[in-house]
Amino acid sequence: MMNEHELEDWICRNWDSTPWSYGTLVGRQLTMKHGRCDILAVLDVPTVIELKAVEIKEKHIGQVLRYRFDLICILKAILQNSICDYKMHLADRNIYEEILPFVEEIFQVRPTIANYSKAGAALVGRNIDNKTLAAAISASIAIHIWRPSQKGIELESMRMRDQWDTDWPTEHYQSWMSRLQHASFESCKNSYLAKQSASLSGIFGVDARLTEDSVSVELDDKKDQGA
């Protein structure tokens, strides 16, 4: 079975055979503030790609999110022409000098990107369970599963499986739907009553409080005493 270094080598050598072939491979093994990201690429947005030779775990989600945060901070600092902040974020000048050429290449590859506060993240692993996949998707992390093949490896993009809808009993959906409908109704009702109360107070110069069944208007004692 491939180790992470071999997996990284294969992906970089066969970039045109990966799901990211439409983008540009910028660099690999780049030191960020919170570690080294395996691959940096420009896809729809600048993206960090973290590789695992084993099953993807929840701790790997936190790892790639930290790298994405680092990339956002770096791109933001450059966008704001704040090189001092940029150097400080990278912790020391050695890191700054290492990553600067790759960041400059990002700007050359996609100079029309207006908002560099956006960055992407992807995780590649041998497998993933539904719970971890749900966490990754909710964090906007692209998940790819690699499998050995005659050509080397195959990469499959993962989404929430159709069985998700059938794994959960129908009564659970009905229970949640009932709760959400009730909460939505209560929220709308309270918002309406608050707006109407504020409107009456402004019109009559009194302290007006709406109840669910009627409108009660109470004189403002302080105002009367002042008058």
pLDDT in tens, 149-203: 888 889 998 876 644 555 666 676 677 778 888 888 878 877 777 776 666 555 5
d(CA 170, CA 116) in angstroms, rounded, equals 43
Structure tokens at 74: 């770096």
Neighbours of 86 (CB within 10 A): 21
In the DSSP assignment, the letter for residue 16 is G
Tokens 């570690």 locate to 35
The pLDDT assigned to 169 comes to: 66
Boundary residue ending a domain (123, 145, 166):
166
The pLDDT assigned to 188 comes to: 81
Tell me, yes or no, whether 118 and 182 share the same domain. Answer: no
This prediction's pTM: 0.66
Torsion of CA 134, 138, 139, 141, to 10 degrees: 60
* Strand, helix or coil for residue 98: helix
The candidate with the shortest Cα–Cα distance to 23, out of 153, 110, 99, 136, is: 110
The pLDDT assigned to 189 comes to: 75
Boundary residue ending a domain (147, 166, 185):
166
Tell me, yes or no, whether 144 and 78 share the same domain. Answer: yes
Tell me, yes or no, whether 132 and 187 share the same domain. Answer: no
Tell me, yes or no, whether 53 and 110 share the same domain. Answer: yes
The candidate with the shortest Cα–Cα distance to 126, out of 139, 143, 141, is: 143
Provide the residue range defining the domain that includes 60: 4-166
Tell me, yes or no, whether 91 and 60 share the same domain. Answer: yes
The residue ranges of the chain whose pLDDT is under 70 are: 77-117, 160-170, 172-173, 196-227
Tell me, yes or no, whether 61 and 144 share the same domain. Answer: yes
Tell me, yes or no, whether 123 and 36 share the same domain. Answer: yes
d(CA 32, CA 95) in angstroms, rounded, equals 7
35 Rama sector, left if φ>0, alpha if ψ -120 to 50, beta otherwise? left
Domain count, the chain: 2
Asked if residues 132 and 54 have their Cβ atoms less than 8 Å apart, the reply is no
The pLDDT assigned to 176 comes to: 74
Determine phi and psi for 62, rounding to 5 degrees.
-60, -40
The pLDDT assigned to 117 comes to: 59
Torsion of CA 65, 66, 72, 77, to 10 degrees: 170
